[in-house]
Structure 1
Amino acid sequence: MDTDIVQIPFDGRSIDIEYQWLRAERMTRPLVVFLHEGLGSISMWRDFPRQFCEAGDFRGLVFSRYGYGGSTPRPHAEKWGADFMHRQAREALPALFEALDIGPGRRHGKPWLLGHSDGGSIALIHAASFPDAVDGLTVLAPHIIVEDLSVRSIAVTRETYLQTDLRDRLARHHHDVDSAFWGWNDIWLNPDFRRFDLRPLLHDIRCPALAVQGEDDEYGTMEQIEGIQRYAPQTVLLKLARCGHSPHRDQSGALTAAAVAFINTHTSNIK
């Protein structure tokens, strides 16, 4: 897998962000930016972004956030605060878009954001904070509040990381797997993170939104997407049977068909 590196300013220093363009030559088609989950990276998406872009005849941008994949690792002594997703949405993502010439009036135009789990939450925060900067959202198993179910499952994941081969499997996808895992796990299990709540922001989202949740999601209930629709009533819900926390793996066909149709119906980038 060939990826590139771009440097962006973040937290008073320059950091490397690993990224990959997909079908970049399709300049008249919508651009979909993929935002990965809390333990994700470019390679953790596997083939889904490319297959999704081919199905919709879209362009794509996949990247690994700070601390993940081939991007600059989080120093082990650096502890993320309860606002870590807000900072990614309001500081790191705009800096990346500027560096890659994405956004209104720029070469690559306004993107669609497709985010999974933490990446879905970051997409929601970005769209609420910069309502004119995105064409639309597709969020898969996003978090708008911290539920007991989420905390219990993340605590189980901690034990799995310590006691099984999960660390070795994740290490294939991150330059510093312990940095990636503990950055995510420590803040999610920090009692201060219980105050994480996106509901006050959601009414600022003006773009079309498709919110997707699996009926068997072990990290969140349907309240996570139903809550989005209450505050942003233009949101369309997709509830998938026989689907856990990763709709793009468990129900890839159903998700792709629905999301491609949604983007093609609502995007302003089709020419």
Structure 2
Amino acid sequence: MPPPETRLFTLRTMAGAPRIELRRIAANPGCGTADAGQAVIVFLHEGLGSVAAWRDFPDRLCAACGLPGLVYSRPGYGRSTPRVPHEHWDARYLHTQALEVLPALLGELGIRRPWLFGHSDGATIALLHAAAFPGAVTGTIVLAPHVFVEQKALDGIARARRAYEAGPLRERLARVQADPDSAFYGWCDAWLAPAFRAWNIEADIAGLRGPLLAVQGEDDEYGTLEQLDRIARSAPHAERLVLPHCGHIPQRDAAQQVIDAARGFIARHRGA
């Protein structure tokens, strides 16, 4: 099956007017739950992700929920404007995406009160955005989120760097990134910088009030369940799902369980 078509959208309200690769998913009226005016599910990819890296998961989730979707590649990823060579993303690069890029994109596309669905770095962006703009989000689902830095994550990223520079990982990323060096070194160098060890967003997300589902695999290679524990301290109302025999990519390792959980979560909180 050929990859779905994407388009480049110029984000005119941002400095430099970056091009954003995006794909819209139409609601499926055949499932019986689609409703005119229902909120869009916005998919926020991981640190090495892109529109293409999601594969068909967004289509499956949107079909199950009867909702439209938006999948996009952040600047530096996919076919979006690449990172400038030698540009270093600082410890607030996820804040920039959550507080500047995402609001600008949603505003220019006319998307109001979306459901946010984020994975890994994208989960962190979702948490930051939902906390900062509580009235602008219907609900938030996060997979393998990061709210503080664990040595396990740094060790995993160091392994990824060795695999990338040895060749195989770069070849795999080239299938979903127009400029794999842009995506990989932007992410890797930010996380492995000494200043990033103190990175922590617990205070930033203390204002989370809307519906929140946090999901993590028991065998996550980049984090422990302490991530979910700390989210619960900041947002005691958060729902929690721990998946056995599942690694850092629940939408791949336990796709149907994630879809079922997300569909139930959205159904419970529609109209909240």
- Normalised by the length of structure 2, the TM-score is 0.94
Question: Which stretches in structure 1 are left out of the alignment for 5+ residues?
Answer: 104-109
1:188-199 → structure 2 map (5 Å cutoff): 188-199=191-202
Whether the 8 Å CA contact 1:17–1:66 is kept in 2: the answer is: yes
Task: Answer yes or no: is 1:250 the counterpart of 2:253.
Answer: yes
1:91-110 → structure 2 map (5 Å cutoff): 91-103=100-112, 110=113
Distance in 2 between residues matched to 1:77 and 1:49, nearest whole Å: 32
Alignment equivalent of 1:38, drawn from 44, 47, 56: 47
Which stretches of structure 1, 4 residues or more, deviate above 2 A after TM superposition?
9-12, 24-30
Give the deviation of 1:63 after TM superposition: 0.3
* Secondary structure, aligned partner of 2:22: strand
Alignment equivalent of 2:134, drawn from 131, 141, 158: 131
> Cα deviations across residues 25-75 of structure 1 (Å, max 9, x unaligned)?
853433110000000000000010000111111111100001000100001
Whether the 8 Å CA contact 2:117–2:126 is kept in 1: the answer is: yes
Distance in 2 between residues matched to 1:24 and 1:259, nearest whole Å: 16
The residue number in structure 1 matching 2:97 is 88
* Secondary structure, aligned partner of 1:132: helix
1:115-130 → structure 2 map (5 Å cutoff): 115-130=118-133
CA 86–9 in structure 1, closer or farther in 2 if over 3 Å, else same? farther
The residue number in structure 1 matching 2:222 is 219
Give the deviation of 1:197 after TM superposition: 0.6
Whether the 8 Å CA contact 1:116–1:142 is kept in 2: the answer is: yes
Distance in 2 between residues matched to 1:263 and 1:36, nearest whole Å: 20
Give the deviation of 1:226 after TM superposition: 1.4
Distance in 2 between residues matched to 1:237 and 1:24, nearest whole Å: 27
RMSD across aligned positions (CA): 1.3
Look up the equivalent residue of 1:53 and give its one-letter code.
Answer: C
Determine what percentage of the aligned residue pairs are the same residue: 48
CA 24–254 in structure 1, closer or farther in 2 if over 3 Å, else same? closer
Task: Answer yes or no: is 1:150 the counterpart of 2:153.
Answer: yes
Question: Which stretches in structure 2 are left out of the alignment for 5+ residues?
Answer: 29-33
* Secondary structure, aligned partner of 1:202: coil
Task: Answer yes or no: is 1:29 the counterpart of 2:32.
Answer: no
Alignment equivalent of 2:184, drawn from 165, 169, 181: 181
* Secondary structure, aligned partner of 1:17: strand
Whether the 8 Å CA contact 1:118–1:142 is kept in 2: the answer is: yes
The residue number in structure 2 matching 1:170 is 173
Distance in 1 between residues matched to 2:17 and 2:172, nearest whole Å: 29
The residue number in structure 2 matching 1:54 is 63
Distance in 2 between residues matched to 1:65 and 1:256, nearest whole Å: 23
> Cα deviations across residues 67-115 of structure 1 (Å, max 9, x unaligned)?
0001000011211110000000000001100110012xxxxxx100000
The residue number in structure 1 matching 2:31 is none
- Normalised by the length of structure 1, the TM-score is 0.94
Give the deviation of 1:11 after TM superposition: 6.2
